[in-house]
Amino acid sequence: MINTNDLSNRINDAYGRLSKGQKLIATYITDNYDKAVFLTAAKLGEVVGVSESTVVRFATHLGYKGYPEFQSALEELVQGKLNSVQRMEVTYGRISQSKILESILKADADRIRSTLEKIDEHTFELAVDTILQARNIYVIGIRSCAPLASFLAFYLTLMFENVHLVHTSSASEIFEQMVRIGRDDVAIGISFPRYSMRTLKAMEFANNRSAKVITLTDSVHSPMNLYSSCNLLADSDMASVVDSLVAPLSVINALIVALCMKKQGEVAKTLETLEDVWDEYQVYGSDEIDYIDDSIKMRYAKLGDDKDK
């Protein structure tokens, strides 16, 4: 029996040796396996924009005897995903509406604890040093990982001049934004199941251009690690209605704080400049509640009261 994950592994292992047309098929299947499973070789070729013979050669290139055997492997992959959904329904079907908040928060807390146990501190420090030494920093995240990439890039911009949040509406757009990446640069790729083929392509491209590659993913077996020299691991669980990305966000927070501690002077100067700009252009005005200033005022007010006694 073909392993449920075998098709994904074969695609990832063979991707670098595929023709341009076959890579289009691989990307479509990775992003749309639930649709591809119902397509004939001719129809799949039509959807992707390649010939039926290219689809058949793609199947044989992956080691299958023909398209029917390939389609069987695709069916097993889809069945495995459906079983995950069924397991989710069994697990959460036992939870009453009043226990949802408690159950989800406890599950996320468990993921953070397990991430703390398995993440390698040396690798984390290597990631910090690599980012500090980089000329340009490229951050890539697709679909549900896009907010994580945006969050990381936002804070990196406060510390570094050349931070690029790669927008990823298409594969060609990725390469257009990364075309100048080189050996003095770093690419940070964030991807969790279902892994993004576009993020993997970006990591491959960065690696081929001799750039440093850092990944934030869920396992040492993640395809994201194929082109990475620094792998940060965080638990992510899809056994719910949405992906749980709490643990990856905690790792990102730790990364940001570690970098801030290394660049305290630059960060303070940037924040001071921003405060001046915000005041000059009345960006926030009276709409912003400044908790820090209020707490200082309260402390000085208390000191004044003590002196009067």
- pLDDT for residue 139: 96
Residue boundaries of the structural domains of the chain: 6-93, 103-262, 265-308
CATH node for 103-262: 3.40.50.10490
Lookup result for tokens 């050669």: 57
83, 239 in Cβ contact below 8 A? Answer: no
Do 6-93 and 103-262 come out as alike in CATH topology? Answer: no
What pLDDT score was predicted for residue 216?
94
pLDDT of amino acid 110: 85
The first and second tokens of residue 198, run together, are: 């576009």
Using alpha carbons, select from 224, 208, 204 the residue that is nearest to residue 8.
224
Dihedral pair phi/psi, residue 162, rounded to 5°: -110, 75
Q: What is the distance between the alpha carbons of residues 153 and 160, in angstroms, rounded to a whole number?
A: 10
The topology (CATH level 3) of 6-93 is Arc Repressor Mutant, subunit A (1.10.10)
Collect the ranges in the chain with pLDDT lower than 50. 1-4, 86-87, 90, 94, 239-240, 296-297, 300
Q: What is the overall mean pLDDT for the chain?
A: 80
DSSP per-residue codes, 244-292: B-HHHHHHHHHHHHHHHHHTHHHHHHHHHHHHHHHHHTTSSGGG---HH
Q: pTM (2 decimals)?
A: 0.62
Residue 278: the pLDDT is 65
